Structure 1
Amino acid sequence: MKLSTRDLILAGLFAALTAVSSYISIPIGPVPITLQSLVVILAGLILGSKVGALSQLTYVLLGLVGLPIFSGGSGGLDSIFHHTFGFLLSFIFTAYIVGKITERDKSYKSISIAVIIGTIFIYIIGVPYFYLIFTTYLGKSISFYGALKFACIPFIPGDVAKAIIAILLSKELIKRLPKASVSI
C-alpha cells in the first residue's frame, strides 16, 4: 500500500482526534461513555477503509507503547488485559468496514448502513472481550447477559445519537475534504 503525505497527515489527525475524544468521558460503570466511536466511524467514512484503519491502528499502537491516550488517561501494554481493550481493537476493524462499505457510494443510504454496521461491529468485538477479561483474567462471575448489561445496553441511546451525528456530519465533511488518495 502506497500512502501519500496527505494520507499520513489525515491518519495522524484522526488518531489524534480519537485520543482527544477518549478524554471526553463520562464514567457510568466499568465502561465509560466517550466520543471515540463517533470519531472511529467518521474516520472510515471520510478517509476510506485503509487510511481509516491506519488511523485507528496508529491510535491503538501509540496507547500500547505507553502514551496515556486511552480513556481515563491509561496506556501501556497492560491495557491489553483491561476489560475495555476489545472496544479499542474493534476501532481498527470498524474504520475499515465502514470505509469499505462507503468507498464507492456516499449516498445517505450507504452511509447509514455503514454507520449501523460499524456501531454493531464495535459491540461484536468489545462485549465478548469484556466478558472474557472479566471471567478469565479478573476471575469475576458474570453472565454474558451481565456483560451486555454493563458494556452494551446503556450505550445504545448515545450510540444512536452519535450515529445520527456521524451521518449528517460526514456528508458535509466529505464535500469539504475529498477522499484521501490511497494507491496500491
Structure 2
Amino acid sequence: MVNNTANGKKLSFSTKEMVLTAMFAAIIVVCSWISIPIGTIAITLQTFAIFCVLGILGGRNGLFSILVFILLGAIGLPVFSGFKGGIGVLTGPTGGYILGFIFMALIYMAGEKLFGKKLVVQIVLMLAGLAVCYAFGTVWFIYVFSKDGNSMPLSKALKLCVTPFIPFDIIKLVLALIITDRVKKHHLI
C-alpha cells in the first residue's frame, strides 16, 4: 500500500503494519483469556498485552490494535476476559477499564511524538496511561454500580478495582519492557 503524507503525517498503513495490527489484536485477545479471578474483577494479562503492543508497535499502530480488539468484542465475539463479548461487557462494571486502553494508547501516542521513544519516556507514558485507565475505569465502575441505587464510595471502588491490581500491573509493565527491548534489539518485528 502506498503511504501518502499530508503535512508530514502518515495517512495510510503498509501491509506489514496491517498484519502486525491484526496480530497484536489477537495477542490482546489471548492475553485477556488468561485470567485469575479475584472478587469482581479478574487479574488478566490484558494490560501486559497493551504494554507490549504500545512498546513494539508504537502509539498509532498500537491504538488501532486496541480498537480492533474492542470492536471485535463489541460485535459479540468472545474476546474479553472470561470468553465474554458484546456491548453488555463494555457497558457493564468493568467496561470502563477496557475502554481505558484507548486512553493508554492516546497518551502513549502523544507522548511519543512530544518526547521520543527513550526507555524512561516509555515507562512514564505507560504508567501515566495506566493511571488514566484506572481512573476512567473506576469512575465507570462507580457509575454502573450506582445506577440501581446502590452506594459505591470511591474508597471502596479503589479497594476493589485498583489497589489489588497495582503490583501485578507493575510486574506486567517490567516484563513487557523486557520483551519489547528484546524484540526490537533482535529486529523480530
One fold, TM greater than 0.5? yes
Amino acid at match of 1:108: L
Amino acid at match of 1:125: F
In structure 1, what is the Cα distance between the partners aligned to 2:88 and 2:62? 25
8 Å CA contact 1:43–1:95 kept in 2: the answer is no
Q: For 1:130-141, list aligned pairs within 5 A.
A: 130-136=141-147, 138-141=148-151
8 Å CA contact 1:46–1:99 kept in 2: the answer is no
In structure 1, what is the Cα distance between the partners aligned to 2:50 and 2:149? 31
Counterpart of 1:39 (choices 40, 49, 56) is 49
Larger CA deviation: 120-129 vs 168-177: 168-177
Percent identity between the aligned chains?
A: 35
Match of 1:62 in 2: 72
Q: Per-residue CA shift, 1:101-127, capped at 9, x if unaligned?
A: 235633221122122112212202111
Counterpart of 1:8 (choices 5, 13, 18) is 18
Measured after TM superposition, the shift of residue 177 of structure 1 is 4.2
Choose between structure 1 and 2 for higher RCO, CA contacts under 8 A separated by at least 6 residues.
1
In structure 2, what is the Cα distance between the partners aligned to 1:177 and 1:127? 38
**SS of the residue 2:21 aligns to:** helix
Structure 1: unaligned runs, 5 residues or longer: 180-184
Match of 1:123 in 2: 134
Match of 1:21 in 2: 31
Counterpart of 2:84 (choices 74, 85, 91) is 74
In structure 2, what is the Cα distance between the partners aligned to 1:20 and 1:91? 16
In structure 1, what is the Cα distance between the partners aligned to 2:174 and 2:28? 18
**SS of the residue 2:181 aligns to:** helix
Counterpart of 1:145 (choices 130, 142, 155) is 155
TM-score by structure 2 length? 0.87
8 Å CA contact 2:90–2:98 kept in 1: the answer is no
**SS of the residue 1:32 aligns to:** strand
Amino acid at match of 1:111: Q
Amino acid at match of 1:55: S
Measured after TM superposition, the shift of residue 34 of structure 1 is 0.4
Measured after TM superposition, the shift of residue 69 of structure 1 is 0.8
Q: Once superposed, what is the RMSD of the aligned Cα atoms?
A: 1.8
Match of 2:99 in 1: 89
Match of 1:53 in 2: 63
Match of 1:166 in 2: 176
Larger CA deviation: 102-111 vs 10-19: 102-111
Give the count of matched residue pairs: 178
**SS of the residue 1:33 aligns to:** strand
Structure 2: unaligned runs, 5 residues or longer: 1-10
**SS of the residue 1:2 aligns to:** coil
**SS of the residue 1:27 aligns to:** strand
TM-score by structure 1 length? 0.89
Q: Per-residue CA shift, 1:86-113, capped at 9, x if unaligned?
A: 1111112212322442356332211221
Distance 1:178 1:2, change over 3 A: farther
